[in-house]
Amino acid sequence: MYFTHAITRLPADSVASGLTTSNIGAPDAELTRQQFRNYVDILLGLGLTVTTLPAEPDYPDSHFVEDTAVMMPELAIITHPGAPSRRGEVETIAPVVSRFRHTVRMSSNAHMDGGDVLMIDKQFFIGLTSRTDEAGIREFAAAVEKFGYSVTAIEVGAGLHLKSIVNYVGRNTVILSEDSVDHPAFRGFNQIVLAKEEEYAGNTLWINDTLITPSGYPDTLKKLKTLGLPIIETDTSEIRKMDGGLTCMSLRF
Ligand code: CIR
């Protein structure tokens, strides 16, 4: 998949009021924005056209745009996010996404965060988590299967989202937590297994055969280097404080 565009949203001053389970302190709003700007610069450097939406102070998690939609070449699904405080975020994302794709909107009986949706070619692996339920996966599957996609549900025991612990990093390889290694869904891929203390770095983003990875995770970096792809490290200290990572801050297509 070659990406040409990304949609992002500027973090609001209210960022520290968002949802988090991290217990590693409150993020600094200005440093969050700086880390966000660095991220956007990396996307621009990789040749993507980036649409950055204005901050939404009433939605302190709204710069985690990945959770509000799932983009694919044929269509986009506008999700019904699992956390009640985040549901309003889709109202301002939907019109922007619909400039680029035909959109299908999930019903309010179903729940899904885009952070649970891992797309590898024509396969979707979708985490069953506190944010994404079976009804969400059923509605999603009904919308995409006619375009030849397969959908596999994955029970996620720990971590916020599936992509908190499993991501595709190119070259038929997934990076994943120790706990996910034996999952049959990932047996067909080469595997880079995260050290327990570096699990956060599993949220590495593969864009146009370049890897963007959080800085400060030396064991993961060493393992990623074996793929032979260009790697860009960037600091996500403030993003992490709100359970966010690199995939969360953009919709790529
Ligand atoms: C939340 O709990 O919803 C946000 N604080 C973090 C969302 C991170 N999103 C993602 O990993 N896709």
Pick the residue whose CA is nearest to atom 8 on ligand 1.
244
CA distances 208 to 23, 48, 64, 123, 171, Å, are 34, 10, 21, 18, 12
Angle in degrees, CA 231, 24, 10, rounded to 5 = 60
CA of residue 148 to ligand 1 center, whole Å: 29
CA of residue 67 to ligand 1 center, whole Å: 7
Backbone angles phi, psi at 128, to 5 degrees: -95, 110
**Average pLDDT over every residue of 115-133:** 98
CA of residue 68 to ligand 1 center, whole Å: 10
Is 248 among the catalytic positions?
Answer: yes
Q: What is the mean pLDDT of the chain?
A: 97
Q: What's the pLDDT band for 157 if we cut at 50, 70, 90?
A: confident
**159: pLDDT strictly greater than 90:** no
Q: Residue 123's domain spans which residues?
A: 5-252
The atom of ligand 1 lying closest to the CA of 21 is 2
The pLDDT, as a whole number, for residue 118 is 98
pLDDT digits (tens, 9 = 90+) for 55-95: 999 999 999 999 999 999 999 999 999 999 999 999 999 99
The atom of ligand 1 lying closest to the CA of 248 is 12
ipTM, two decimals: 0.98
Which among 222, 118, 218 has a CA at the least distance from the CA of 167?
A: 118
- Residue 99 sits in a domain of what CATH number? 3.75.10.10
Is 183 among the catalytic positions?
Answer: no
Per DSSP, 19 falls in state -
The tokens for 120 are 């590898």
Pick the residue whose CA is nearest to atom 9 on ligand 1.
248
**CA separation for the pair 197, 160 (Å, rounded):** 16
The tokens for 243 are 């359970």
89 lines ligand 1 (CB under 6 A): no
67 lines ligand 1 (CB under 6 A): yes
**CA separation for the pair 152, 173 (Å, rounded):** 18
State the total domains in the chain: 1
CA of residue 62 to ligand 1 center, whole Å: 9
Q: Write out the E strands in 11-98.
A: 49-53, 69-71, 76-78
Q: What is the pTM (predicted TM-score) of this model?
A: 0.97
**196: pLDDT strictly greater than 90:** yes
**200: pLDDT strictly greater than 90:** yes
